[in-house]
Amino acid sequence: MRTRTRLIVVALALVGCLVVPALAAPAEPGVPWCVSDYDSGDWYWLRDGVKTSFHGMCEAWVFNRTLRWLDESNGLDGAVLCYSHYPTLELTGHASVSKWFADPANVLKDVDVLRTRLVHKADRPTDHAQLPSFQFHLGQHPRAEMEVSECDQPWQFLVAVKGRSGPPLYASSWSDRPGKLSVDLAALMKGRTYGEWVQLHFFVCTWRREPRDASVTFRLRLAGRPAIVTTLPMFRTVDSGRHYVNREGFIAPYEGSTPLYAIMVDERGFFLREKDASVWAELGDQKFNLTCRKDGVWEGQTKKLKEGEHEVVLRSTRVGRPRETLETRLRIHVGKHEFIAYDGWGRLLTLRGANGLADKPLGPLTGSYRGQMMFQDIGTSAERPLHGQARWEQRRSQGEGQAYGFHWWESLTPAELDTEFEYLARCGWTLVHLCQGWIWWERLDAGGCLAPHGAQQLAAVLAAAQRHGLHVHFALSHYPLGKASKPYAQYLDAGYKPSDYGDTKSRFYEMFAHYLDQFAAVFRDASALGSLTAAGEGDPSCGGTFVRFVRDRLYKSDVNHILLCEPHGHITRDPEYYKTQEWGTLLGGFRTYALDKKPLSEVAVAFRLAPLGRLFMAEGLFWGYMNAAYRIDQYRRRVRETLYTALAARSPIVMTWEERAVEDERVVFEQVRRSVDWSRPATGGDVKILIDGGNLDGTGRQRLARIERLLSRVPVQSLYITDALPVERGIDATKEQPLPDWLTGRAELPQTLRLSLPLVLPEGMRAFYTWSDDRTVLLAFIRAGRAAVEERLSAPTTEAGHYTYADTQLALSADMEISRWEAICESPGKVQLRIYRAKDNTMTLVGRSELVEMKARGPVRFELARPIQARAGDLIGLYVPDESTHVAAHGDGRMLFVEGNAGETPTPLADWKSEPKTLCMWVIGADGRTFPARGDDPAASAPATRPAARPVGKLLLRNLPDVRLKVRLYDLAAKKVIHESVVHAQAEIPVPAGAEHLFLTTTPAPTGQ
């Protein structure tokens, strides 16, 4: 029986072999693709539709330990030279000069002095180990040599440029056996015009072709060669009266010539001196020899250089090898000695020239943080920048990848920077904001020294900005080290801890000071560098001690650039607290993120508060998250409204964050900036408003917003004060009290006020303006005041079916007989007004409308067949039967909801859930009152007395000074002047029908006009 059973088993096995087909070999993994998250998150390899994070991007990178720096402490005037003193850079094993990272599920360890082993255990088909962000001099180490000594499944070697989306710079074939690779990195980088310093990621990938662990043992090194190495890019200015602080700390004349420095190293990494080599430089028709100092540094001097960009070619030969010529190139950027300053009396930026000449007022500068460029057709011959709304709309639905993606600023070529900055300048930009040191962003602080690749790339950015008339606002660091990603290991090795930010005697401060000294040596003469911050939005987290230290240290050797700070998010504390705490900066920034989805009157409040603390708009309107919630047309309008409110307020700097697709909204902004005489200050206001700390948040802030909303109807320029309230034209906003009847529309304007105001608006228009003290320069942002339009533009979210809603933010303030109701339709469909009363922990239906249909997007209004008798405290609500129907809502508040139709039966309040939203809905009483009150409504409590008739189809200029003024009216949507004339005393300016956003200026007319 046993034999018979065995035969049956064998027979069945043979049958199985005949029936079951052979398994096909797994397909080889495709070529991976670099993809980055927009502003945070990670970098990924996208391979065969699967994303795998670059391992170690937020870990403690080890900056190239072989690099050495020579700077002003070594006798290099206004220059920093960086080089490697190792002939070969071992990147694996115990001798590695950096560090590899892998998924924690995998095993990564050094097996001996030169080799590292990766064991792939993670449950994914492919994985990798990474050496991130390695910087080295391509002239010294042009070739990567990879050797795999052991493997049991296929492996692959990849190289990627840090910050670059798309295919890798190099990808080997998959191999399932040991072997060697020699990769000519210099050849791969040729034509990319990055310069001598490069920053690359190296990857060793594994493929679990069979369902078991995969291991690979490998050695990677960068082979060295003899090289000539010169300084990082240099900046100088040309001016006969120019003076600078030399390395001895004395003010010395600058004659226009520029010192040159270089070192020459042999294949062992040793310096070559005059007995071993000769070094010379060529610049146009200039050719001159360099001489070798005792320390092995070669130095020379150019003749006087003209304004512009100059490329010096430095060459060298070794004694006995005249045909072996080594070469490197140095960029010298020479600009005018003009730097941005700040005039505290005039509250504006100026351009400071040489010899202390009178500063030239600049007016408001505007731009955005621009950490990365968006490209389309990435990795193809058709790759190009993705600019403008039309092209974005075409690409966005295709998803990030080849269709579109981002190249970060550290990886952009000079040609790409030129394309970007030419476009931005054409769109009216004057500023570009750059940051560093957050998560895996570029880091210029390489553990207490200036990172050579970062400095080289910042120089390329500044050169492109100079060519196109832009300035760069740059953050010297970011949040405290370690907040979002670990600092360089060099800081950790020195014992860094976050509490060091409060101790200026710490080793951290000593290292950071050295970095600042080197930064100043390279960039203090860069006139395209407009301003600096110690840590950008991280300033409050780093603290006033840190900001003050950065200012003091920087100003020891850089007296050209102003240091700003960002002490505020939303302004909810004393606007000038950073001054009372002696941070030591001239200007402070605030951010509008908390306001970007609120009514525009909230934005107006921020810009009226700003002068109290010398504040400017540092950030806001972040496209990265706003465009996900806003439609692009909403985003465009909100950017426009914020920018031109800021311009009318004369904010010295107006910056958004990563603004995309709508960059051309600054076209008129720049035209206005260039046409206005900014030397005429505007320090007053027609109505003074007394405020205190209670007005910076909560109900006190809402009180200010309501006042600004009502002032915009008149319109009247307000001035916030914190001392005694004037008897006339004053409003005490520090406490809740009735507003003046002229403001709420119950009475005519006082005669004294009417005779001092410059504008009478057409019916339905609103304005926010600033008038110069001499009344010659008027800047007015004028917009359609239709409440439905305003609410629609500030309603980034919606409510939909099948749900019933009751809005706690829309609790009636008084009894009302409701006869009509309004809403903002985002997606058409049927809806029903509901009025609920919450009492004794129960929700009771008070009344409802018929089920009506919203037929199109936008404002909708419905009459009630039977009025609803509602009481104070009743909640406005809504029933939406269909999930495809959407009603606009704000992204804050407290909305109660239940799934389905709540019906007429009282329901326990506990059954209702809540979410942070507020419906864009209104109810109108039989007496004409609207709740909630809107900018178009004088008040919620009583019908208004109609003010004097407003002009139709035109605006009136009146009470002008006794001089001739040039008037320009711009259509902000069309981005052009639609009216221009010279007026005296008063004028009528035609306003096109349907105009939504206008900007008006008056300036003294040139002689003869």
- Per-position DSSP letters for 227-280, written without gaps between them: EEEEPSPEEEEE-TT-EEE-TTS-EEE--S--EEEEEEE-TTS-B--TTTEEEE
State how far the Cα of 535 lies from the Cα of 555, in Å rounded to an integer.
16
Band (10; pLDDT cuts 50, 70, 90): very low
CATH architecture classification, 232-339? Sandwich (2.60)
What's the whole-number mean pLDDT along residues 571-598? 91
Instruction: Compute φ and ψ for 254, nearest 5 degrees.
Output: -115, 120
**pLDDT tens across 942-986, in order?**
333 444 567 778 999 999 999 999 999 999 999 999 999 999 989
Whether residue 125 has a cis bond before it, omega within 30° of 0: no
- Give the C-alpha separation, 622 to 998, whole Å: 24
Pairing verdict, β 529-533 and 81-84: unpaired
Distance between CA 360 and CA 610 in Å, rounded? 23
pLDDT given at position 969: 98
Task: Report cis status (omega within 30 of 0) of the bond before 480.
Answer: no
The two most distant CA atoms of the chain are separated, in Å, by: 124
Backbone angles phi, psi at 354, to 5 degrees: -80, 165
The proportion of the chain whose per-residue pLDDT surpasses 90, expressed as a percent, equals: 70
* Averaged pLDDT for residues 455-482: 97
H helices of 427-531, in order, are 452-467, 489-493, 507-523
With a cut of 50, say whether residue 937 has pLDDT above it: no
Q: How far apart are CA 32 and CA 43, in angstroms?
A: 12
Query: Between the ranges 328-337, 467-476, 624-633, 690-699, where is the mean pLDDT highest?
Result: 467-476
The mean per-residue pLDDT over the stretch 698-725 comes to: 91
Q: For residue 732, which amino acid is it?
A: D
User: Tell me, what's the pLDDT at 793?
Assistant: 41
- Angle at which helices 507-523 and 452-467 pack, to 10 degrees? 40
Upstream peptide bond of 471 is cis (omega within 30 degrees of 0): no
Q: How far is CA 470 from its chain centroid?
A: 16
129 contacts 118 by C-beta, under 8 angstroms:
yes
Q: Are 289 and 109 in contact (CB under 8 A)?
A: no
Q: What value does the mean pLDDT of the chain take?
A: 89
What pLDDT was estimated at residue 333?
A: 94
Give the CA distances from residue 422 to residues 304, 425, 459, 464, 467, in Å, rounded to whole numbers and listed in that order: 29, 5, 17, 9, 9
Contact yes or no for 148/216 (Cβ under 8 A): yes
Model pLDDT, residue 252: 52
Distance CA 930, CA 812 (A): 10
Q: How far apart are CA 358 and CA 355, in angstroms?
A: 9
Domain boundaries defined on the chain:
33-224, 232-339, 363-675, 687-785+947-1004, 789-931
CA 493 to chain centre: 32
Query: How distant, in Å, are the alpha carbons of 424, 644, 650, 824 from that of 975?
Result: 15, 12, 20, 28
Check residue 821 and give its pLDDT: 96
CA distance 723 to 237: 46
Output the pLDDT for position 857: 84
Contact 222, 89 (CB under 8 A): yes
Residue where the block lists tokens 């069979």: 210
- In the prediction, which pLDDT does 823 show? 93
Q: Does 238 or 185 have the greater pLDDT score? A: 185
Give the Cα separation of 208 and 9 in Å (integer): 33
Contact 821/911 with Cβ under 8 angstroms? no
Instruction: Name the token pair of 400.
Output: 């990030």
Helix pair angle (507-523, 544-555), 10° resolution: 40
Please give the Cα distance from 595 to 728 (Å, whole number): 31
> In sequence order, which residues have a C-beta less than 8 Å from that of residue 440 and are 6 or more positions away?
42, 43, 57, 58, 132, 133, 485
DSSP 668-699: HHHHHHHHS-TTS-----SEEEE--GGGGSHH
Distance CA 856, CA 875 (A): 26
Integer Cα distance of 729 and 754 in angstroms: 11
Cis peptide before 715 (omega within 30 of 0): yes
pLDDT category of residue 22 using cuts at 50, 70 and 90: very low
Residue 30 makes CB contacts below 8 A (sequence gap 6+) with: 47, 48
Q: Give the tokens for residue 590.
A: 């605030």
pLDDT at 577: 92
Using the predicted structure, report yes or no on whether residue 597 has a pLDDT greater than 90.
no
Write down the residue that tokens 């970062």 correspond to.
454
Residues 914, 916, 921, 927, Cα dihedral to 10° = 80
CA dist 504 to 497, 507, 857, Å? Answer: 13, 8, 59
Q: What was the pLDDT predicted at 199? A: 97
Q: What per-residue confidence (pLDDT) applies to 150?
A: 97
Number of Cβ within 10 Å of residue 298's Cβ equals: 27
Using pLDDT thresholds of 50, 70 and 90, give the confidence band for residue 20: very low
Of 529, 68, 500, 412, which is closest to residue 263 (Cα–Cα)? Answer: 68
CA-wise closest residue to 376 among 387, 365, 360, 363: 387
Q: Residue 286 — very low, low, confident or very high, per pLDDT cuts 50/70/90?
A: confident
Which of 526, 537, 454, 532 is CA-nearest to residue 488?
A: 454
Residue range 557-570: average pLDDT?
94
Q: Does domain 363-675 have CATH number 3.20.20.80?
A: yes
Query: Other CB atoms closer than 10 Å to residue 530's CB: what's the count?
Result: 28
Helices (H) and strands (E) in the chain, counts: 18, 66
Q: Which of 413, 322, 426, 336 is nearest to 375 (CA)?
A: 413
How does strand 529-533 pair with strand 562-564?
A: parallel
pLDDT for residue 400 is more than 80: no
What single-letter DSSP state applies at residue 140?
A: T
Name beta bridge partners: 778. Answer: 771, 1002
CA distance 336 to 357: 14
Query: pLDDT tens digit string along 23-61?
Result: 456 889 999 999 887 666 689 999 998 889 999 999 999
Please give the pLDDT value at position 285.
Answer: 86
Residue 184 pLDDT > 70: yes
**Predicted local distance difference test score (pLDDT) of residue 840:** 86
Distances (CA, A) of 402 to 167, 376, 382, 659: 9, 7, 11, 21
pLDDT at position 121 over 90: yes
Please tell me the predicted confidence (pLDDT) of residue 725: 75
Q: Quick one: average pLDDT of 356-362?
A: 76
Q: What is the DSSP letter of 524?
A: T
Name beta bridge partners: 175: 155
Using the structure block, give the residue that is written with the tokens 């003290």.
773
Q: Whole-angstrom Cα distance, residue 283 to residue 330?
A: 10
Which residues have C-beta within 8 Å of that of residue 96, sequence separation ≥ 6?
A: 90, 110, 116
pLDDT of residue 41: 66
Average pLDDT in the 245-270 region? 73
Q: What percent of the chain has pLDDT over 70?
A: 90
Q: Which amino acid is at 906?
A: P
pLDDT, one tens digit per residue, over 125-143 is 999 999 999 999 999 999 9
Question: How large is the C-alpha radius of gyration of the chain?
Answer: 33
- The residue type found at 787 is A
pLDDT for 918 = 86
CATH fold of 33-224 reads Jelly Rolls (2.60.120)
pLDDT digits (tens, 9 = 90+) for 612-629: 999 999 999 987 644 554
Confidence of residue 798 (pLDDT cuts 50, 70, 90): low
